[in-house]
Structure 1
Amino acid sequence: MTEPPGNLPSILHRLNVVGQSVVVAVSGGADSVAMLRALLAVQSECSLQLRVAHFNHGLRGAESDEDARWVADLCERLGVVCDLGVADHETLPQSTGSREGDARRLRYQFLERVATTNDCQSIAVAHTADDQAETVLHRILRGTGLTGLIGIPQVRRLDSGVNLVRPLLGLRRQSLRQWLREIGQDFREDSTNTDRDFTRNRIRHDLLPLLEEQFNPQVKSALCRLAEQAEQTQIVEDFAANELLQTATIDRTGTSWVLDCEPLTDCPVAMVRTCLRLVWTEMGWPQQKMSFQHYTRLQEAICDPMRRGEISLPYPVQARLTRRKRQQSLELRVESND
């Protein structure tokens, strides 16, 4: 059998997946089918326990139902246990503002539920280097900061303790499809992947090919390198910001964090903003509501010795600057519902 592209055993060792029970998220598309076949090819060598999970979003009617049947049949032929989930859009309220966003949220909830129910340590999803390039470019177009340039992380720890891993993130989509052809493995095509109403599809099918043809044939590789460099820079900055945050912290509870402004006043503005972002992360506050302008507003208030009172922030976090005994402090708090 033709070997899968890339050095998958080495990747799995680096991701600490070797010897684990893994949920393999399979949509039926080329990337996820290639990931399943590749993991099966190294299953014995890497001591993997694999089970497939497929989530029927229900957004494409009969086509979605056929995808689910196709994945179930594939798993039966390959001898892999398959868990099927179905979205119930009628009874579950929207939270992201789009059906696609809600479907994605429900899918990850289903994957995590399958993993925890079956004592699996990791969930493998099939994002590729092409997905990384598209994500970084999409965020640049929307006006992202340094954190957004990191793009898709290769490993993310979920609240349940399960790791979400992306073993194909360094591989190109084209090489995966070529390998599937070599081994005679078919796959499903999602009709929405060519719908130009979606910004990501316009980036994939129109903008990136234009950039490759007229500006830089290696633009996808360049975007992936940018993501990697941004991640390494963020690691260093977070390490320094954590130390600064410990020095500046006066008090912390389950609903509040009080900072001494003095240690932060003479720091670079980017470092102060990173400290504030870490506070939101540690407290589990909704970061999607916090824009660059909100963090800048807080940073400027911290560095203004004459500033007092409330600082306007998105619900549910409240911010207040106070001064007692020559110490200026910033209190960040979420009011209790009691």
Structure 2
Amino acid sequence: MLTWQVEKFIKEKELLQENERVLVGVSTGVDSMVLLHILETLQKKIGFDIGVAHVNHKLRTASDEEEIYLKNYCQKHNLPFYSTRWEDVPTTGVEEKARLFRYNFFKETMTTQNYQVLATAHHKDDQIETMIMKMVREGNLFSAKGIVADQSFGTNKKLVRPLLQITKEEILNYSKNEGIFYFEDQTNALLDVQRNRIRHQVIPFLKEENSQTLSHFQQLSEQINAAEKIITEEQKKWYQALVQEKYYAFEIDVDKYFTFSQTQQFFSYRNLQKKHGSIMI
């Protein structure tokens, strides 16, 4: 059933196509091991090729064991395996720096090994966590959309999330039913990480309030994403009407700006700030 749901989502969103080479980011946690298992199942049916990329972050005692396990798994399943180790672990900002290191490795591997698509195991629970974090940190409409099903990931490459309509509970049930072995990351329980606090202390209360909370946040994400596309197109038109760019500077038609509605002014000003930094009108 879960495989069918993922296949349906892949086809609806056109995430994976026949003859594409797909690099799967796998950590050996339950999410990515389930994603790998499902994509292996769909591989021949849809007609894409799979490779596996793994980053040993050297943050836990089990890190080396996880890397060896995944390497052996890929050999057994005839899957190309690419790995790297994060040798210079920083003392601050570890989560964000680890993410940057990981995605840089994925991008390099895609380029050198000729993969067009990167697939990661983000799911519905990740979505609500990310959206809440963005609102707490930034309060910005567009970043609050959270995770999207597919996005550009460099020149002629894309990043897809085939499990984005699947809940963590469904993933755990699937792993149990299919007998999928995975490693449990004990750091996911540490409450000194903001995402973990939101995961363990905030989201359970929201789920108790309404069992459809995860679906509602996913719907909100899709609506914000659609609204962003429309507003971005309008911002381009407003910018062309307001701004004359010169070699060393730019001129703003202030009189024209004040003929705009308050909503147009708001988004025009945000766009000007994005393009030219802090300005006063």
Task: Tell me the TM-score normalised to structure 2 length.
Answer: 0.89
Give the C-alpha shift of residue 21 in structure 1. 0.6
> Residue 112 of structure 1 contacts residue 162 of structure 1 at CA under 8 Å; is this kept in 2?
no
Cα distance change on mapping 1:40 and 1:242 into 2, 3 Å: same
Moved more, 66-75 or 48-57: 66-75
Cα distance change on mapping 1:164 and 1:252 into 2, 3 Å: farther
Rounded to whole Å, the distance in 2 between the matches of 1:3 and 1:240 is 39
Please tell me whether Structure 1 or Structure 2 has the larger radius of gyration of its CA atoms. Answer: 1
The AA in structure 2 aligned to 1:49 is D
Rounded to whole Å, the distance in 1 between the matches of 2:256 and 2:138 is 30
User: Are residue 193 (structure 1) and residue 188 (structure 2) matched?
Assistant: yes
> Residue 9 of structure 2 contacts residue 165 of structure 2 at CA under 8 Å; is this kept in 1?
no
Match of 1:216 among 210, 213, 217: 210
1:222 alignment partner, SS class: helix
User: Are residue 173 (structure 1) and residue 168 (structure 2) matched?
Assistant: yes
The AA in structure 2 aligned to 1:141 is V
Deviation sequence 1:101-138 (CA, Å, 0-9, x none): 11110100000001111111110111001100111122
Task: State how many pairs are aligned.
Answer: 280
Deviation sequence 1:262-308 (CA, Å, 0-9, x none): 43333244434534555676x6x9xxxx8xxx6xxx4xx22xxxxxx
Rounded to whole Å, the distance in 1 between the matches of 2:225 and 2:84 is 33
The AA in structure 1 aligned to 2:5 is G
> Which ranges in structure 2 are unaligned for 5 or more consecutive residues?
none
Partner of 1:53: 53
Cα distance change on mapping 1:43 and 1:258 into 2, 3 Å: farther
Identity percentage of aligned residues? 27
The AA in structure 2 aligned to 1:152 is I
Deviation sequence 1:136-168 (CA, Å, 0-9, x none): 122233351211221112212123432111111
Moved more, 46-55 or 15-24: 15-24
The AA in structure 2 aligned to 1:23 is L
> Which ranges in structure 1 are unaligned for 5 or more consecutive residues?
303-338
User: Are residue 122 (structure 1) and residue 117 (structure 2) matched?
Assistant: yes
Partner of 1:240: 234
Aligned 1:298-337 pairs, distance under 5 A: 298=279, 301-302=280-281
Cα distance change on mapping 1:3 and 1:238 into 2, 3 Å: closer
Partner of 2:81: 82
Q: Flag the structure with higher strand content.
A: 1
Rounded to whole Å, the distance in 1 between the matches of 2:262 and 2:268 is 10
Task: Tell me the TM-score normalised to structure 1 length.
Answer: 0.75
Moved more, 159-168 or 260-269: 260-269
Partner of 1:251: 245
Q: Flag the structure with higher helix content.
A: 2
Higher relative contact order (CA 8 A, sep 6+): 2
The AA in structure 1 aligned to 2:81 is C
Partner of 2:258: 265
Partner of 2:22: 22
Rounded to whole Å, the distance in 2 between the matches of 1:238 and 1:29 is 37
Give the C-alpha shift of residue 86 in structure 1. 1.1
Rounded to whole Å, the distance in 1 between the matches of 2:162 and 2:268 is 31
The AA in structure 2 aligned to 1:233 is A
- Root mean square deviation, CA, Å: 2.5
Rounded to whole Å, the distance in 1 between the matches of 2:138 and 2:157 is 31
Partner of 1:31: 31
1:231 alignment partner, SS class: helix
